[in-house]
Amino acid sequence: MAADQVAIAVKVSEDIVTARQAGSELAGDLGFTLTDRTMISTAISEIARNITSYAGSGEIRLLIDLREGRRALVIQAEDQGPGIRDIPRALEDGYSTGRGLGLGLPGARRLMDRLTIDSAPGRGTLIEMWKWVPDVA
């Protein structure tokens, strides 16, 4: 894990706003366009909302690290909730085990360059998603 990271505890809806803003600020510092910043913020909102809805509490971590040999803005969402029983199904549009529209994980995956999920029932969830840092001209 990278030494320079920001961690935001996520327990209530206000924490989602805090994580979203922190992600947008870091993306701006890295030279992402306003459109990319909006996509990153939205993806953070979606996965942070899943923490409050399904796990109760967790953490969003923001870091700059290498992924697949390139610099990336990495967002990790981790919780100790009930876990995801069927990851492929959870990534399908419209699938939800709660009252949501089932757009959170598939939407976040579309907004970012990559999204991975490590989860199992009873073991919590770690979602990692990233967007490649733009090359500075």
Q: Where are the domains of the chain?
A: 5-132
How far are the Cα atoms of 81, 90, 119, 135 from residue 122, in angstroms, in the given order? 7, 16, 9, 41
Q: Which residues contact 51 (CB under 8 A, 6 or more apart)?
A: 10, 57, 58, 60, 77, 79, 81
Average pLDDT over the chain reads 90
When pLDDT is cut at 50, 70 and 90, the band that residue 93 belongs to is confident
In single-letter form, the type of residue at position 126 comes to L
Q: pLDDT, tens digit, for every residue of 53-88? A: 989 999 999 999 999 999 999 999 999 999 998 888
User: Distance (Å, rounded) from C-alpha 61 to C-alpha 55?
Assistant: 16
| Nearest alpha-carbon partner for 75 in 52, 121, 31, 42 | 42
Beta bridge partners of 22: none
Read off the pLDDT of residues 35-58 as tens digits, 9 standing for 90 and up.
999 999 999 999 999 999 989 999
Over residues 14-24, the mean pLDDT reads 97
Domain 5-132 in CATH: superfamily?
Answer: Histidine kinase-like ATPase, C-terminal domain (3.30.565.10)
How many CB atoms lie under 10 A from the CB of residue 123?
Answer: 13
| pTM for the predicted model, two decimal places | 0.90
